[in-house]
Structure 1
Amino acid sequence: MNAQPITNFIKHHFRHFNAAALVEAAEAYRRHLDSGGKMMVTLAGAMSTAELGLSLAEMIRQDKVHAISCTGANLEEDVFNLVAHDYYERIPHYRDLTPQDEKALLERHLNRVTDTCIPEGEAMRRIESFILEEWMASDARGERLFPHEFFWRILNNPRLQANYQIDPKDSWVLAAKEKRLPMFVPGWEDSTLGNMYAGHCITGDIKHVHTVRTGIEYMIELANWYTETSATASIGFFQIGGGIAGDFPICVVPMLHQDLRRENVPVWGYFCQISDSTTSYGSYSGAVPNEKITWGKLAVETPKFIIESDASIVAPLMFAYILGW
């Protein structure tokens, strides 16, 4: 059996266009780590429901990822899949669904993400019951935690562990918890559990809305992490998709330099984005990397890559290449 079959296949066949960009970006990622650099990965879209944990978890375990910024949806949906995988339904003919078909899924409490339906009762409500206990206990103690810290607590609960329906090694959130990986979840309110938290604040189950720490405090934590880490290592930025998961953390560099007036703040030492967003009409997600030079996020000499393709295809291939699979 050939060693590194995926890597060798990619090297042989991926020679031009976005395929070549994938190889160049993966090799630069490796060089960045080999030279002592660190890497932040940002997750937008529905990467957790796409089960990116199958490869991302191993990247975390092998120290190829050193921090993660993600949407609240990606944080929770990895855990939804962990405890309710057997109840998910795949809809391969989703392009043919009529509005009446969609309503029928709603009536069965199946929330569709492209070709995959997340079961409300087995996934969302099950996790709500566990995390509400932690929210209320912390609220009563006057304790405040970040969203990801509440997830780490429920993942330590043997009652929740008894509900696991996939191999735990395929959960990237579990891998991050075990590594105590620095995590940042901007805009957490825009998630299913964020909505549920707001509801429990409205009903009075939770007395203090700030029991869950959110955005500005995440930025302060990120500023501290970036300052401390960049003092000894160049930090790269690997962006999957666009939106707040990427825009929030990349802004820490100009914030430190321009707003705090700190000298000698290093810019990001590597940049790669996987995106299918069109480069037009002021789109952040579709902006080419060079635009970030004007904002003080990247330097002229920063290795920059953009792979215009489907992240559910590209990211696992890049991770396999970086891992030497």
Structure 2
Amino acid sequence: MKITEFLKHNYRHFNAASLIDAAEGYKSHLDNGGKMMITLAGAMSTAELGISLAEMIRQDKVQIITCTGANLEEDVFNLVAHDYYERIPNYRELTPAQEQDLVERHMNRVTDTCIPEMEAMRRIENVILEEWVKADQAGESYFPHEFFYKILLSGKLEQYYQIDPKDSWLLEAAKKNLPIIVPGWEDSTLGNMFAGHVISGDVKNVHTVKTGIQYMIFLADWYTNTATDESTIGFFQIGGGIAGDFPICVVPMLHQDLQRDNVPLWGYFCQISDSTTSYGSYSGAVPNEKITWGKLGIDTPKYIIESDATIVAPLVFAIVLGQ
């Protein structure tokens, strides 16, 4: 039995049914000529979402991605250092002394998975620093994801690959030169490293790496040139936070701040989240709240799947891919 057949036979109610509805809505949006943005919050790259997301990119099921700086870099960390990762199933039971042991071994824990600093982070730093310095000396500036595209497409990291490269979503995105938006990139390991190299003087110009404001300007142009009434842009949000809030705001900005009244609203919306609607939580806000902010319309297809994205997202992708 295909995955899709199994899901449609068993997933009939509650969040399970929402998963089916959202996936079918995703397919319909693409079939009707629409395009899709996927946003990645949390630690989805360390959860190895690339196994399914890379295939979505290959099959043109996503046209633009917004992600945190962590998701941008952690896909490459996994690509070059997978064999050095350690999984700790009993992470809930660790004592402070055991946590201290991990940091002394340079193992940075993300829930049940430890990322090895030397094999992952420092290995990438040495390669990307060359690109930062090269751009800095030439008086050039690039987006964070463009620097990653440079090092991936250069082949300098191939000798370190420890997973099948077809499971790296960022490598697939680089091959297609897929637009990526990375708001708040400075809140990431590589962002901290870049700041350190500016402070130490290795990089002279802090603007060598472009910022979130420049990302918003790029997104505004991309959205204006891409979205039409016949081909609207869908919004598939995994988690919450800046990865979702930053890009969805481009539409009200275009309407309210730039007075562009010919730009369509987002044409599809789905969020996978376990956040609740409390204390003003945007991540847990129901989609209808976004109508009041000029992001979604009354008739925009809207879905919420209240569950664990590490479980749900690959299943939605499987249906979209017809697996």
Q: TM-score when scaled to structure 1? A: 0.98
The structure 2 residue matched to 1:248, chosen from 246, 249, 255, is: 246
Query: Partners of 2:201 and 2:156 in 1: how far apart?
Result: 26
One-letter code of the match for 1:77? E
**CA shift digits 1:113-155 (9 cap, x unpaired):** 0000000000000000000010001100001000000001111
Query: Partners of 2:154 and 2:322 in 1: how far apart?
Result: 34
Aligned partners of 2:67 and 2:181 also within 8 Å: yes
Q: CA RMSD in A?
A: 0.7
Match of 2:31 in 1: 34
Q: CA deviation at 1:160?
A: 1.1
Aligned partners of 2:267 and 2:300 also within 8 Å: yes
Match of 1:93 in 2: 90
1:274-313, aligned counterparts within 5 Å?
A: 274-313=272-311
**CA shift digits 1:167-193 (9 cap, x unpaired):** 000000011111111110000000000
Query: Partners of 1:217 and 1:159 in 2: how far apart?
Result: 28
One-letter code of the match for 1:172? W
One-letter code of the match for 1:115? D
Match of 1:102 in 2: 99
SS of equivalent to 1:162: helix
Match of 1:204 in 2: 201
Query: Partners of 1:29 and 1:13 in 2: how far apart?
Result: 20
**CA shift digits 1:61-118 (9 cap, x unpaired):** 1010000000000000000000000000000110110111101000000000000000
Match of 1:81 in 2: 78
Q: How many residues align?
A: 322
1:125-136, aligned counterparts within 5 Å?
A: 125-136=122-133
The structure 2 residue matched to 1:225, chosen from 206, 222, 226, is: 222
Runs of 4+ in structure 1 deviating by more than 4 angstroms, as ranges, are none
One-letter code of the match for 1:134? E
Query: Partners of 2:222 and 2:49 in 1: how far apart?
Result: 25
Match of 1:117 in 2: 114
Query: Partners of 1:292 and 1:301 in 2: how far apart?
Result: 12
Aligned partners of 2:239 and 2:309 also within 8 Å: yes
Q: TM-score when scaled to structure 2? A: 0.99
Q: CA deviation at 1:324?
A: 0.7
SS of equivalent to 1:159: coil
One-letter code of the match for 1:99? P
In structure 2, the gaps of 5 or more residues are none
Match of 2:270 in 1: 272
The structure 2 residue matched to 1:66, chosen from 60, 63, 66, is: 63
SS of equivalent to 1:48: coil
SS of equivalent to 1:40: strand
Aligned partners of 2:37 and 2:234 also within 8 Å: yes
Match of 2:168 in 1: 171
Q: CA deviation at 1:263?
A: 1.3
User: Does 2:134 align with 1:137?
Assistant: yes
Query: Partners of 2:152 and 2:175 in 1: how far apart?
Result: 10
One-letter code of the match for 2:16? A
Match of 2:159 in 1: 162
SS of equivalent to 1:272: strand
Query: Partners of 1:156 and 1:230 in 2: how far apart?
Result: 29
Query: Partners of 1:283 and 1:42 in 2: how far apart?
Result: 18
Query: Partners of 1:170 and 1:130 in 2: how far apart?
Result: 21
One-letter code of the match for 2:309? A
**CA shift digits 1:232-268 (9 cap, x unpaired):** 5111000000000010000000000000011122100
Query: Partners of 1:262 and 1:59 in 2: how far apart?
Result: 32
Q: CA deviation at 1:158?
A: 2.8
Query: Partners of 2:269 and 2:262 in 1: how far apart?
Result: 19
Q: CA deviation at 1:157?
A: 2.8
Query: Partners of 1:301 and 1:118 in 2: how far apart?
Result: 43
Q: CA deviation at 1:161?
A: 1.0
**CA shift digits 1:274-322 (9 cap, x unpaired):** 0001111100111110000000000010000000000000000000011
In structure 1, the gaps of 5 or more residues are none
